[in-house]
Structure 1
């Protein structure tokens, strides 16, 4: 069996769950099997956007990020379910637990995909046999379909898993790159978004093959260091290891929410920013992280989006500190026009024990005294919800904008306890 594995190279699998949110809903409610299903925001609200959909819905032209009204026009019989993130999180944890039964070298990339290094798993079968076993076990035990790419590195494994969906298993070797990858449009390459593809077209790069043979100087001028990296990928070169600890390396943690109606009520909007700041603060504290930079995203009713950030003198992790930084940005950059969406993100995160903070005697004593209180508050909120401790008078349900909004969080800490 060892002869089926490379002597010097690696064997990497990329496991990508098919229509994950929709598949989880079908697993919980088998009556949805074979029907056009979409996961989207509240159908009664304007922000109903398709998060994902079943392949039956895709056959009607329904796509991710499509407005719900357009999806229903294309597929009148479309079944719509609101996202159940706790349900998806549980399914994700079960999925990764299953993957780790094959090897400890598992790197979660997002809630529904991850890499496995099976180079030393030859006693369990050939790479294809292992991939088949994973796919069949996911389907049997969790009722969740997947596609799997098999390759000598992470980039090629990711490209391979995208080639056959749903329930596909694809092998992509280094020698296959010129015949399989190079003819593909450059926009279909992992790591190349629509804007990057547009930039590449300005220097006559239309295919992955064009990128593989691109001029180094031109690529660096156009895309910086990423140009060199993308050219290496286009040639099938990717030396990144599968890192089980990579998912905890957070660069930023944020939340955003679309309002149920365009608003110019500053008190209400600052209330939304406050709640977003509280959510972000709680999440970075659970990670024992500190933020050196706070970013505020403002999207107006005409879809124009402004993103501004504030570099902090000292790293922070408390709700009110995050809110004050976001409020400063709000006061400075809001032009008074109606707001559609707001987002708060803690950036440039560092682990608490690595952070250096200049504190005088008085501020040190103050922070040391309040640390146990803050931990107790977080514990209460975690057990009983954010409303367990509030200031002032609680608004009636129909007057409280919080009842009409749903935060969005697709970061990797979604996988953690």
Structure 2
């Protein structure tokens, strides 16, 4: 019996593309690109066949078309991808004792202590087969002693694979890999380490902690730990994922709907910015009002995973219209985003032009430099444009 933790990392293979292939089997085996349907668009996801030509997520559509002119471009359907994501989570929830939804298409499962009852590798294999059979979507998994190594194991066996890295094999598994393979290691860090001759994990693992601390501070020490196969981060129960929200109690009870709508826009922009700062996406939004008689009324809606202002604002305004049914003074309004998962905002790119998405990024940079209230929509200020 193996000792220590048993962590499974499950990751959908080219998730958005797989959902499209499930709907249209003629796409199987073809270079498929999600997003980038206009010259100003950006690639959201692509099939492994397209990746062979150098196409990757976040690439400008023009470049993708130059690299792979015969690819099938699909605008994308975030509703379908979110639905499939929830279905996968529901299956995992029924089958395992503890799991974390790490992003829209990946989960960590803590099976520590379960080997005495049922082999973890066997159980993971059967869970994977259940997902494939019930949903018709390919999925891969890695099983190892912690989240970092299990994720790296998954990445090495994709697509449509399984890999078990036992404790005694962790360092031999990691050593020959490029430092690029370490989760969380960005391009700038890769270039910096490469310029120093550190290209393989085996080399990085031999660096003295004091030297790594001098080079990169706490981030350097974290990378060094990962290179040695050490990661003590826990699997965070999905039910405990926190929400982000805000509310406002009016100085005087009001019935001014236009003012409240503008306030909602401002509130949503603030919490959407917080969401992007935390690199998270939300799949649920809730609007709450309190009447002057202290009656609270709440409406909630599931939404495609997002952190973009436009989607969240429209849904918040729609929920407010549903919840405010009495012609009575209001004393409070609140909005909350929940069902949070980790992820960067690429999944609305196919519905936004590159310029529009760049605008959101530019506004975030202004907020980071001058404060969250430094920029807002003209409509919030009551300015006609």
Same fold (TM over 0.5): yes
3-state SS in 1 of match to 2:225: helix
What is the alpha-carbon distance in structure 2 between the residues aligned to residue 346 and residue 149 of structure 1?
29
1:155-211 deviation digits (Å, cap 9, x = unpaired): 110110000111111111232233221122212212211111223335442221222
CA positional deviation for 1:233: 1.4
- Residues 1:14 and 2:23 are matched in the alignment: no
What is the alpha-carbon distance in structure 1 between the residues aligned to residue 294 and residue 18 of structure 2?
42
- Residues 1:30 and 2:15 are matched in the alignment: no
Change (3 A) 1:212 1:374: farther
Residue aligning to 1:240: 233
What is the alpha-carbon distance in structure 2 between the residues aligned to residue 289 and residue 388 of structure 1?
17
Change (3 A) 1:72 1:152: same
Change (3 A) 1:322 1:22: closer
Gaps of 5+ in 1: 251-283, 291-316, 327-342, 350-366, 390-402, 410-417
Change (3 A) 1:321 1:114: closer
CA positional deviation for 1:45: 4.6
CA positional deviation for 1:119: 2.4
1:75-99 deviation digits (Å, cap 9, x = unpaired): 3331111121111111011111111
- Residues 1:44 and 2:38 are matched in the alignment: yes
What is the alpha-carbon distance in structure 1 between the residues aligned to residue 293 and residue 51 of structure 2?
51
Correspondent of 2:139 among 110, 123, 146: 146
Residue aligning to 1:191: 184
- Residues 1:81 and 2:81 are matched in the alignment: no
Aligned-CA RMSD value:
3.7
- Pairing of 1:14-413 with structure 2 (within 5 A): 14-41=9-36, 43-46=37-40, 48-122=41-115, 125-245=118-238, 248-249=241-242, 284-285=244-245, 318-320=264-266, 344-345=273-274, 382=315, 385=318
Q: Number of residue pairs matched?
A: 294
Change (3 A) 1:35 1:188: same
Does structure 2 retain, via aligned residues, the 8 Å contact 1:9–1:152?
A: yes
Higher relative contact order by CA 8 Å / sep ≥ 6: 1 or 2?
Answer: 2
What is the alpha-carbon distance in structure 1 between the residues aligned to residue 293 and residue 182 of structure 2?
47
What is the alpha-carbon distance in structure 2 between the residues aligned to residue 241 and residue 103 of structure 1?
16
Change (3 A) 1:378 1:190: closer
What is the alpha-carbon distance in structure 2 between the residues aligned to residue 404 and residue 194 of structure 1?
26
CA positional deviation for 1:111: 0.2
What is the alpha-carbon distance in structure 2 between the residues aligned to residue 231 and residue 92 of structure 1?
33
Gaps of 5+ in 2: 249-262, 279-288, 302-312, 323-350, 361-385
What is the alpha-carbon distance in structure 2 between the residues aligned to residue 155 and residue 169 of structure 1?
16
Query: TM-score normalized by structure 1?
Result: 0.61
Change (3 A) 1:371 1:18: farther
Does structure 2 retain, via aligned residues, the 8 Å contact 1:27–1:143?
A: yes
What is the alpha-carbon distance in structure 2 between the residues aligned to residue 289 and residue 217 of structure 1?
46
CA positional deviation for 1:9: 1.0
What is the alpha-carbon distance in structure 2 between the residues aligned to residue 373 and residue 128 of structure 1?
52
Does structure 1 retain, via aligned residues, the 8 Å contact 2:18–2:137?
A: yes
What is the alpha-carbon distance in structure 1 between the residues aligned to residue 142 and residue 128 of structure 2?
11
Does structure 2 retain, via aligned residues, the 8 Å contact 1:381–1:388?
A: no
CA positional deviation for 1:38: 1.0
CA positional deviation for 1:63: 2.3
